[in-house]
Amino acid sequence: MKISVIGAGYVGLVTGASLAKIGHHVTCLDVNEEKIEVLNKGRSPIYEPDLEALIQQNMKARTLSFTTDFEIACQQAEIIIIAVGTPSNQDGSADLTAIKDVSEKIGAHIHHPGTIILTKSTVPVGTNQKVKSWLHTYSFSADHFMIASNPEFLREGSAIHDTFNGDRIVIGSENEEAARKLEEMFAPFGVPILHTSIESAEMIKYSSNAFLATKISFINEIANLCEKLGANVEDVARGMGMDQRIGSAFLQAGIGYGGSCFPKDTNALVQIAGEMEHEFELLESVIKVNAKQQVKLVQMAKDHVKDLKGKRAGILGLSFKPNTDDIREAASIEMIKLLVEEGVQMTVYDPVAQDNAKSLLGDTVTFADNCFDAIEDQDMLFIVTEWEEFKVLRLKTISKLMDLPLVFDGRNCFALEEAIDANIDYYSIGRPAVTQFSNSKKNV
């Protein structure tokens, strides 16, 4: 099939490259000329494992091309996928400016009767109906298009894998012909397909993300209690997860969720509920718990060290999770802001997210060239992202690099036995603290 994808961000690029891989002819459009120039050279503008290789492979096979021109993108397309961003407005609602803009442009350029306009961007319930009216703004004919919704569930860092191994593909449509054609388009992925109404499809995306965020905030609250009660959250999560009704996924306690989806979508759902005069109290609490959790390590450090002013700290990890350079809503940013206010001098290191962080953090911190430079001679070390590169470090090595080794691990990267063995002070999430040098507050 001939498919165009509007918006060459995470979702658009991964979708475009994956659809090309299963045999479709795909054109990806973005208004950002620089981005399209980079893509036309066969390079990926974002860090996502396997994406660049897939782009190159499909460009070579002539099944994937890039453009900034709506006329080129729309002239032959049977299916046009909208994958532009829906960032948060100040009040938490979704900003639909880009969706409106591209819908109007698509409407003005469609040539084929029966073209399907498929929205992949996460949009509030009812938006696809607005898309329909925006498509008509500059279009000549009403029967030029059919609208449908296809929420995206891929995770950054494993987006290609997720596309080919998803749990489900949701197709929301109001027309059997569109539903059948979209099923045909997705069939080669071999992923179970669920057909729903457009409104239900839109709601499935928000509900799924809100539920996963709830699981995370829940286990983090259990972790906070475990610390007080002397229990170990990892054992608790294991015991809970063995109950198939609960499941073991997304029960990893840590310093909260970040990224481009959970924070934005949970806020948007609270906002959507509010518009319907429904107070979504559960989700409001999930968001509140997460905000506290993201800066938990700072409180732990303040409890342990009398005065943080003038102390030196190493920060390992800036991205909101491993295998991505994305720092949107990352715990690292909030934490670092607070530590700067406390007068802490920081040396930070992340394998791929440093360039993105530089524009946000400027010269408030020192960027290290490798993880050892961020550890050596620091008064304390914060582990913020569980990159494999950090997990393979041994605590004994860390201990040797620091004078009085004091580690705050926000992602439970190491076993408690290893911390005892390495003779360090080691604080993690929801597990008993390992305190070798002191049992009470001290001034390092």
Residues engaged in binding ligand UDX (CB under 6 A):
152-156, 209, 212, 216, 250-252, 254, 257-259, 261-262, 320-321
Tokens 């490259």, residue located: 17
Question: Residue 375 Cβ, how far from ligand UDX at the closest point, in Å?
Answer: 22
Decide whether 2 or 328 has the Cβ nearer to ligand UDX: 328
| Measured distance CA(54)–CA(191) in Å, rounded | 20
**What strands, in cross-sheet order, belong to the sheet with 380-383?**
366-367, 345-349, 312-316, 380-383, 406-409, 425-427
Q: What is the DSSP string of 244-279?
A: TTT-STT---SS---SSSHHHHHHHHHHHHHHTT--
8 A C-beta contact, residue 57 and residue 21? yes
Residue 164's nearest CA partner among 49, 25, 68 is 49
Question: Residue 320 Cβ, how far from ligand UDX at the closest point, in Å?
Answer: 4
Residue nearest to ligand UDX (CB): 261
261 is catalytic: yes
What is the SS3 string spanning 132-172? HHHHHCCCCCHHHEEEEECCCCCCCCCHHHHHHCCCCEEEE
Catalytic-labelled residue, pool 28, 226, 261, 413: 261
Question: Residue 95 Cβ, how far from ligand UDX at the closest point, in Å?
Answer: 17
| Measured distance CA(376)–CA(401) in Å, rounded | 5
Beta strands in 375-420 (DSSP E): 380-383, 406-409
| Measured distance CA(109)–CA(72) in Å, rounded | 9
Residue 418's nearest CA partner among 440, 384, 393 is 393
Element at 425 (helix H, strand E): strand 425-427
Question: Residue 261 Cβ, how far from ligand UDX at the closest point, in Å?
Answer: 3
User: With the C-alpha atoms ordered 64, 113, 197, 270, is the resulting torsion angle positive or negative?
Assistant: positive
Question: Residue 157 Cβ, how far from ligand UDX at the closest point, in Å?
Answer: 6
Decide whether 311 or 431 has the Cβ nearer to ligand UDX: 431
Question: Residue 121 Cβ, how far from ligand UDX at the closest point, in Å?
Answer: 11
As annotated, the active-site residues are 261
